[in-house]
């Protein structure tokens, strides 16, 4: 199989794809006959591309992952074809190069195209691949495309039309790297490999659910992309929705591409649509401003000085079905927050009657289950226990499972797991076309509302804080509050400093 990476000189390829591929190669989890053909506008020979990737990998891999002999072998699998992905003629260069490689390899024409390029190229590449005869029989042909797939419902529908006119649905891998994370997949094990959670996993026992994925970094070198995208399209429409689906879904009949994705789809279709009049109350958007030594978003390079792109979103959504009716799901994501943390907290209802009074500083509150996706990966069950000694003081305590206690953390990066699935043709953990449309159909009214109402508030928050106060207010109005990890979780000092 030849993996053809479009955008091979870009950040994604260097920082995520190459380390993942090196890892798979080291573990002998790549196809038995295998090569990588990088393509981009930048001019490189095979040799200079190999050299560049070798330097990048030596720099980025941890010492304990780096095996010089394996790295040298891996680098020999790399080839490079300079080309402009918008120029039809260049696809014939690509075709010739692939024919040459086929002759050297197996003559089977098995190609996996990976689009590590800006979304503006998502339409062009499959069309031109088809024109150049690089799709269809003979051999295996698959395409991997990054999120965001589309920028609203219409564009996602158009993209789906293009992709399905070139590839079969089972040959299209719409990747969302959150679904490759070990701790995200473990939500499925937690829910469906155990029986103790199921009876309480519903509106009768759950009060509300928080899904947080915040980051300490700003937009870094991606401001150009971010200006066009914003947080809702970058994080919410895809990553947070995947987390929501895993928490809310019904058990799939089997863990395969059909059953699993059917259940995801049912959740997206059960989301209670936003009403124009309530978008302002249900969705809070924000943008970070300068604080101490940190630049505000509008001061970042390539950002318009009056930009209205959101770098923070908090929202309240409802899954309108038998299990979850009336239970709010609060989603929150943002850049330049105090820390990097992704976690889901299931808050259970209060005990029906307060037998034990609030003594001193200790008050029994409702139980919760914290699923920490990253960092400090683990699961915490928080419940009340008696403080040893006289009297009857009850305090919240944590039963804390940490992945580190299993001896080792998941070694394989999310990308490695997902790329391996692309090699084997397993699309279970990839978004299906109709599901992507369902997700866009839920969020498009919000995007339209922002577009048509320039006066709709975009709240500012100083870099390094937990976002605009309006996001807190949204929770407080219902008697809840965000569980900011620095405040509440144990052992968080390491990832709490500003
Ligand atoms: C990417 C977004 O998909 O996910 C980035 O484009 C974000 O903006 C990143 O930083 C977060 O991923 P992770 O795995 O670091 O939590």
Cβ-proximal residues to 294 (8 Å cutoff; 6+ apart), any chain: 218, 288, 336, 463, 464
Q: How far is the CA of 239 from the centre of ligand 1 (A)?
A: 9
**Which residues, listed in sequence order, are joined to residue 81 by a DSSP beta bridge?**
39
Min mean pLDDT across 1-10, 120-129, 209-218, 483-492 is at 483-492
Please name the residue ranges forming H helices in 151-252. 153-166, 182-192, 223-231, 241-248
Residue 232 lies in a domain: yes
**Per-residue model confidence (pLDDT) at position 495:** 43
Q: Domain check: are 70 and 213 in the same one?
A: no
pLDDT of amino acid 396: 85
**Chain position carrying tokens 């040459």:** 100
Question: Same structural domain for residues 218 and 309?
Answer: yes
Domain assignment of residue 19, yes or no: yes
CA distance 195 to 217: 39
The yes-or-no verdict on residue 363 having pLDDT over 50 is yes
Closest CA to 9 of 99, 110, 100, 78: 78
Domain that holds residue 252: 179-412+458-496
Count of alpha carbons within 13 angstroms of residue 198, beta-carbon side = 9
Ligand 1 atom at shortest distance from the alpha carbon of 238: 3
Are residues 104 and 198 located together in one domain of the fold?
no
Binned at pLDDT 50, 70 and 90, residue 402 comes out as confident
Q: What does the DSSP assignment read for 401-435? A: EEGGGGSS---S-HHHHHHHHHHHT--TTSB-HHH
Which atom of ligand 1 is nearest to 178's Cα?
A: 14
Q: Output the residue whose Cα is nearest ligand 1's atom 9.
A: 235
- Write out the catalytic residue numbers: 239
Contact predicate 271/319, CB 8 Å:
yes
Q: For residue 63, name the pLDDT band (cuts at 50, 70, 90).
A: confident
For tokens 């050297």, what's the residue? 104
Q: How far is CA 483 from CA 43, 60, 395, 475, in A?
A: 49, 33, 17, 11
pLDDT level of residue 496 (50, 70, 90 thresholds): very low
The reported pLDDT for the residue numbered 293 is 85
CATH classification at residue 45: 3.40.50.720
- Confirm whether 424 is domain-assigned: no
241 Cα: distance to centroid of ligand 1 (angstroms): 14
Give the end of a domain, one of 146, 167, 191.
146
138 and 205 inside one domain: no
Q: Would you state the pLDDT for residue 494?
A: 43
pLDDT at 232 over 50: yes
Residues 108 and 241 in one domain: no
Residue 114 has pLDDT above 80, yes or no: yes
State the average pLDDT over residues 354-368: 78
Q: Which range has the worst mean pLDDT, 191-205, 262-276, 383-397, 398-412?
A: 398-412
Do residue 201 and residue 137 come from a single domain? no
| Token couple for 439 | 């997700």
For ligand 1, pick from 234, 374, 410, 417 the residue to mutate: most ligand atoms within 8 Å of CB: 234
Residue 14 domain flag? yes
* Residue 226, CA distances (Å) to 62, 419, 425, 446, 483 in order: 29, 25, 31, 18, 27
How many domains is the chain built from?
2
Residues with CB under 6 A from ligand 1: 215, 234, 342
Q: How far is the CA of 2 from the centre of ligand 1 (A)?
A: 27
> Which ligand 1 atom is at minimum distance from the Cα of 146?
3
Residue whose structure tokens are 């959101």: 310
Report the DSSP beta bridge partners of residue 329: 209, 317
- CA–CA distance, 348 with 210 (Å, rounded to integer): 11
Residue 433 is assigned to a structural domain of this protein:
no
- pLDDT given for residue 365 in this prediction: 82
Mutate which of 180, 215, 337 for ligand 1? The one with the most ligand atoms within 8 Å of its CB, which is 215
Same domain (yes/no): 200, 67: no
* Ramachandran area for residue 362 (φ above 0: left; ψ -120 to 50: alpha; else beta): beta
> CA 13, CA 443: separation in Å to the nearest integer?
29
Domain boundary among 146, 169, 187: 146
| 344 closest CA partner among 188, 476, 478, 146 | 188
Mean pLDDT across 384-395: 85
Based on the domain organization, do 247 and 130 belong to the same domain?
A: no
- CA of residue 234 to ligand 1 center, whole Å: 8
Q: State in Å: Cα 179 to ligand 1 middle.
A: 12
Instruction: Compute the average pLDDT of residues 478-497.
Output: 62
219: in domain: yes
Whether residue 47 sits in one domain with residue 183: no
Indicate whether 250 and 307 sit together in one domain: yes
> Is 94 domain-assigned?
yes
Residue 56 located in a structural domain: yes
CA 345 – CA 211 distance, rounded (Å):
7
**How much is the pLDDT for 489?**
42
Q: Clarify whether residues 360 and 477 are in a common domain.
A: yes
Dump pLDDT digits (tens) for 177-209. 999 998 999 999 999 999 999 999 999 999 999
Which domain CATH number covers 356?
3.30.360.10
Task: Tell me if residue 139 falls in helix, strand or coil.
Answer: coil
What is the reported pLDDT for 498?
A: 32
**Shared domain check, 343 and 270:** yes
Which atom number of ligand 1 is nearest to the Cα of residue 234?
A: 6
Give the Cα separation of 22 and 71 in Å (integer). 7
């Amino acid at each position: 199989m030849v993996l053809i990476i479009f955008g091979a000189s870009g950040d994604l390829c260097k920082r995520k794809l190459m380390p993942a591929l090196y890892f798979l190669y080291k573990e002998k989890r790549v196809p038995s006959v295998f090569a990588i053909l990088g393509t981009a506008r930048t001019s490189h020979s095979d040799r200079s591309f190999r050299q560049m990737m070798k330097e990048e990998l030596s720099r980025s891999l941890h010492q304990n992952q780096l095996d010089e002999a394996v790295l040298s072998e891996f680098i020999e699998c790399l080839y490079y074809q300079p080309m402009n992905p918008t120029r039809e003629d260049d696809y014939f260069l690509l075709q010739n190069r692939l024919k040459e490689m086929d002759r050297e390899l197996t003559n089977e024409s098995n190609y996996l195209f990976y689009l590590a390029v800006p979304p503006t190229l998502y339409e062009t590449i499959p069309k031109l691949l088809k024109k150049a005869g690089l799709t269809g029989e003979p051999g295996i042909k698959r395409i991997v495309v990054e999120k965001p797939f589309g920028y609203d419902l219409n564009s996602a529908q158009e993209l789906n039309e293009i992709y399905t006119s070139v590839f079969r649905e089972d040959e299209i891998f719409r990747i969302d790297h959150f679904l490759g994370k070990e701790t995200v997949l473990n939500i499925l094990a937690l829910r469906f490999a155990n029986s103790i959670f199921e009876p309480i996993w519903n509106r009768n026992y759950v009060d509300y659910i928080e899904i947080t994925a915040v980051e300490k970094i700003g937009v870094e070198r991606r401001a150009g992309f971010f200006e066009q995208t914003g947080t809702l399209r970058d994080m919410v429409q895809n990553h947070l929705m995947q987390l929501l689906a895993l928490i809310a879904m019904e058990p799939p009949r089997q863990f395969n591409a059909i059953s699993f994705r059917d259940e995801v789809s049912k959740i997206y279709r059960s989301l209670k649509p936003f009403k124009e009049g309530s978008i302002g109350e249900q969705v809070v958007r924000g943008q970070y401003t300068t604080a101490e030594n940190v630049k505000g978003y509008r001061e970042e390079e390539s950002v318009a000085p009056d930009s209205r792109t959101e770098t923070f979103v908090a929202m309240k959504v409802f899954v309108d079905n038998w299990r979850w009716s009336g239970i709010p799901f609060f989603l929150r994501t943002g850049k330049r927050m105090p820390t990097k943390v992704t976690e889901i907290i299931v808050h259970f209802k209060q005990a029906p009657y307060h037998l034990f009074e609030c003594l001193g500083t200790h008050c029994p509150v409702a139980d919760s289950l914290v699923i920490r996706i990253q960092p400090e990966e683990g699961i915490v069950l928080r419940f009340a226990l008696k403080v040893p000694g006289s009297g009857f003081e009850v305090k919240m305590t944590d039963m804390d499972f940490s992945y580190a206690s299993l001896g080792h953390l998941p070694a394989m990066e999310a990308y490695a797991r997902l790329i391996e699935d692309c090699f084997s043709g397993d699309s279970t953990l990839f978004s299906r076309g109709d599901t992507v449309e369902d997700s866009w159909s839920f969020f498009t009214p919000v995007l339209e509302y922002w577009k048509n109402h320039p006066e709709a508030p975009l709240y500012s928050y100083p870099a390094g804080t937990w976002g605009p106060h309006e996001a807190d207010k949204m929770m407080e109005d219902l008697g809840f509050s965000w569980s900011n990890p620095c405040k509440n979780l144990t052992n968080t000092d390491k990832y709490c400093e500003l």
